Amino acid sequence: MSYDHFKPPEHFSPTAKFTYRAVLTVLFVAIMIAFIYFVAPLIDRYAGAPFADWFTNLIFGPKGA
């Protein structure tokens, strides 16, 4: 069973329903951009960096070969 989190309350007018969905969509996009800009580099630095050499060697072979 799923729930539509972007569904506006039934008592809203059609204009208010559109505005409600638009504001939530813009807010969601802004939060995702902020996450990618601020949090993703930290994840890459502390969790991704140890695996970078291993993954690169797995795909392209050892360095200098």
Place of tokens 């970078």: 52
pLDDT at residue 60, rounded to an integer: 76
Tens-place pLDDT, residues 1-13: 577 777 888 999 9
Tens-place pLDDT, residues 39-61: 988 888 887 777 777 777 777 77
Place of tokens 């969905």: 21
**What is the rounded distance in angstroms from the CA atom of residue 49 to the CA atom of residue 61?**
18
> At 64, is the pLDDT very low, low, confident or very high (cuts 50, 70, 90)?
low
Token pair, residue 1, equals 């069973």
